[in-house]
Amino acid sequence: MNKEVFPRMHVSLYVSNLAATVNFYSTFFRKPADKIKSRYAKYILDSPSLIISFIENPERVQSNFGHLGFQVSTREEMEQRLELARKQDIVHKEEIGTACCYAVQDKFWVNDPDNIQWEVYYFHEDAEFNDPHYELQDTSACCMPAVEEKPKVALAELSKDSCDPNSGCC
């Protein structure tokens, strides 16, 4: 048996537009897809050891499951990756020296075409900080997708005669 717990992680995500997804991830991963077929693309990354595949199926897209991320080893690597992401115009949010998820981190976020959030971060040190998943009233907390405000519908009072079979509304 291999001494590693698991030698390579695999993630498979449903996407609404494979071409847009391949364009985004080829930019984000700085490499082309290793395999592209009808409604399917796969990237094999060596560092970290990850296979990530995308299946075009708009009805099954789930963009609110949380987020995915990569931890980098040095502050310099974080700065280099952030600068590259800025040049590629894919940075959604930057957080430098933030205390989040019981850690002080420098990080930036990118969102793929289906709004799946990716965090790239450098870990400074542990911190005494309540995980934002327990602070549901704080919708701007780190590690939490932004809550989309749904439009409110104003209901008008209707008389009981307003929708009879002869009124044309039914």
Report which of 31, 17, 96 is spatially closest to residue 61, judged by C-alpha positions. Answer: 17
Residue by residue, pLDDT tens for the chain (170 residues) are: 567 678 899 999 999 999 999 999 999 999 999 999 999 999 999 999 999 999 999 999 986 778 999 999 999 999 999 999 999 999 999 999 888 878 889 999 999 999 999 999 999 999 886 556 545 555 555 555 454 554 544 545 545 555 555 544 44
1-58 CATH choice from 3.30.70.1150, 3.30.720.120, 3.20.20.120, 1.20.1300.10: 3.30.720.120
Handedness of CA 16, 56, 64, 114 (dihedral sign): negative
In the chain, where are the structural domains located?
1-58, 67-142
Q: Tokens at residue 90, please?
A: 């894919």
Task: Read off the pTM.
Answer: 0.73
Q: Tokens at residue 154, please?
A: 């104003």
Contact call for residues 121 and 71 (beta carbons, < 8 A): yes
Residues 29 and 54: their CA atoms lie apart, in Å, by: 14
67-142 CATH choice from 3.50.50.60, 1.10.3720.10, 3.40.50.300, 3.10.180.10: 3.10.180.10
